[in-house]
Amino acid sequence: MGEQNGAADGLARYEVLASSFPTCRGLGTSPYRKFNNFLYPAHLMAPTLAMRDTFVARPTDVVLATMPKAGTTWLKALVYAVVHRGRHAPRDRRHPLLLSSPHDLVPFLHSLYQNSSHPTRLIDAMPSPRTLAVHAPLSLMNASVAASRCRVVYLCRDPKDALVSFWHYIAKAAKHPAVPGSSLAPFPEVFELYCDGVSAFGPVWDHMAEYWKESVARPEEVMFLRYEQLKEDTVGSVKRMAQFLGVPFTDDEVTQRVPEAVVSLCGMDRMKSVEANRDGEHGGSGWTFKNSAFFRKGEVGDWKELLTPEMASRLDAVVEENLRGSGLSLIRN
């Protein structure tokens, strides 16, 4: 089934389907499509649907799930370094993460479906363990993800910081000549949309709540992490991730400070200095920008730059209200 559905004409079928879904204004430069109560950047709707129908997970897969601006690039780097440390020592000066973007080493499934004419053939040919990433909500994942019992790592971030991060990212990315040039709305307008649940692959609270509930129901297979925890205790978080992924650090590795070496390899300054992260490009048809847009400050609480205390309280309240009943609270948990 895979190859046939993954071929270019297979995607055309999903383009037709996607075009029947309602559209609304997006947070950035492009509109969103609405499907099953979630919003998708219009150009990623068809690839995401193709992924839902044709991606077949393996038990050895590691799937990283995030909303945009939650720290995806960092998570990709850390997990890649942990999973592949047998072949690529984190202190190796020719480590793949010093030569390629984390987005090339851990590709987004939607990008593979968007940019390849034979995505399923490509994905099937990837050697195990495959490390792959999605922004899609859990409810849009192929049933094989749960059935295969592969590992899923979800990273969430304070929505206030994610929104401010998104604002800077879109301003930077939209300057690239390959990005269609519609102008950005002023930040207060974007804030209002966000409080109404508008965001890529959002609403943000529903995206988090789905993965949270799954992590409670299947803790051996779904790990729920926060960017803030990663920042506070990166080494401890990396050790927990390695344990969860079935590749715990040995006593020898701990003595040799391998977890610390992973953290140092993936640190912001080191990653920013890599040529592929500075000058390389990301995207696909109609939306291409420099990889440098993925790296900015990487701070907790940077929302203070753009949100007033009133706006912050309002967004916190909207998020908590919408999370009510899910068991997740960004304030309590």
Instruction: From the candidates 110, 135, 207, 282, give the one annotated as an active-site residue.
Output: 135
Cβ-proximal residues to 40 (8 Å cutoff; 6+ apart), any chain: 32, 33, 34, 48, 200, 201
Interface residue with ligand A3P among 33, 52, 69, 85 (CB under 6 A) is 69
Q: End-to-end CA distance of the chain, in Å?
A: 42
E-only strand ranges, 111-229: 131-134, 151-156, 222-226
Residue 231 CB, nearest approach to ligand A3P (Å): 7
Residue nearest to ligand A3P (CB): 298
Q: Is residue 302 a contact residue for ligand A3P (CB under 6 A)?
A: yes
User: Phi and psi of 65, rounded to 5°?
Assistant: -120, 130
* 69 vs 207 by CB, closer to ligand A3P: 69
Q: Which of residues 74-93 bind ligand A3P (CB under 6 A)?
A: 74
* Stretch in the footprint of ligand A3P (CB under 6 A) among 39-47, 56-64, 70-78, 112-120: 70-78
Q: Is residue 111 a contact residue for ligand A3P (CB under 6 A)?
A: no
Q: Which of residues 225-284 bind ligand A3P (CB under 6 A)?
A: 266-268, 271
Residue 167 CB, nearest approach to ligand A3P (Å): 9
* 265 vs 319 by CB, closer to ligand A3P: 265
Reading the block at residue 223, the tokens are: 């790990």
State how far the Cα of 248 lies from the Cα of 48, in Å rounded to an integer.
Answer: 32
Residue 229 CB, nearest approach to ligand A3P (Å): 12
Is 133 in contact with 108 (CB distance < 8 Å)? yes
Interface residue with ligand A3P among 294, 315, 318, 328 (CB under 6 A) is 294
Is 324 in contact with 208 (CB distance < 8 Å)? no
* Stretch in the footprint of ligand A3P (CB under 6 A) among 18-26, 72-80, 192-200, 216-224: 72-80
Q: Is residue 71 a contact residue for ligand A3P (CB under 6 A)?
A: yes
Angle, in degrees to the nearest 10, between helices 234-244 and 258-265: 110
- Amino acid sitting at position 314: R
Is 327 in contact with 213 (CB distance < 8 Å)? yes
State how far the Cα of 231 lies from the Cα of 157, in Å rounded to an integer.
Answer: 11
- For ligand A3P (CB under 6 A), the number of binding residues is 21
| Residue 207 CA neighbour count, 13 Å, CB half | 26
Reply yes or no on whether 135 is catalytic: yes
Interface residue with ligand A3P among 41, 68, 90, 283 (CB under 6 A) is 68
CA dihedral of residues 234, 235, 241, 244 (deg, nearest 10) = -140
* 76 vs 88 by CB, closer to ligand A3P: 76
What binding mask, one character per residue, do residues 130-169 give for ligand A3P by CB under 6 A, x or -? -------------------------------x---x--x-
* Stretch in the footprint of ligand A3P (CB under 6 A) among 107-115, 202-210, 279-287, 295-303: 295-303
Q: Judging by beta carbons within 10 Å of its beta carbon (0-12, 13-18, 19+), is residue 177 exposed, middle or buried?
A: exposed
Residues that bind ligand A3P (CB under 6 A): 66, 68-74, 161, 165, 168, 266-268, 271, 294-298, 302
Positions marked catalytic: 135
